[in-house]
Amino acid sequence: MKVMIVAGDPSGDVYGGALAQALRARRPGIRLFGMGGPHMKKAGVRILFPLTGLSSVASWKVCATCPC
């Protein structure tokens, strides 16, 4: 069985790592892959897309007089 786990931020990486450990405990032969960080990698997930370099920051100007 193959399962893809995707984490988009560091907290998701922590939860993804815990999920991977639980899945491996129930199904030792499971193949895990996806997007994550060090926690998921340590849990045995094959990281195809690392979290580093994927973050972004956005800002919006809120205008009280804007009709939209």
Cβ neighbors of 53 (< 8 A, separation 6 or more) are: none
Helices (H), the chain: 10-26, 38-42
Q: Is residue 9 part of a domain?
A: yes
Region 52-60 average pLDDT: 60
Q: Which pLDDT score, from 0 to 100, does residue 62 have?
A: 59
Q: Is residue 65 part of a domain?
A: no
Q: How many domains does the chain have?
A: 1
Q: In what order do the strands lie in the sheet with 31-36?
A: 2-6, 31-36, 46-50
11: confidence class by pLDDT, cuts 50, 70, 90 = very high
pLDDT in tens, 30-48: 999 999 999 999 999 999 9
Q: Is residue 44 part of a domain?
A: yes
Centre a 10 Å sphere on the Cβ of residue 64 and count the other Cβ atoms it contains.
Answer: 4
Structural domain for 28, as ranges: 2-50
Give Cα 17 distance to the centre of its chain: 9
CA 12 to CA 20: how far, in whole Å? 12
Q: Is residue 63 part of a domain?
A: no
Q: Is residue 15 part of a domain?
A: yes
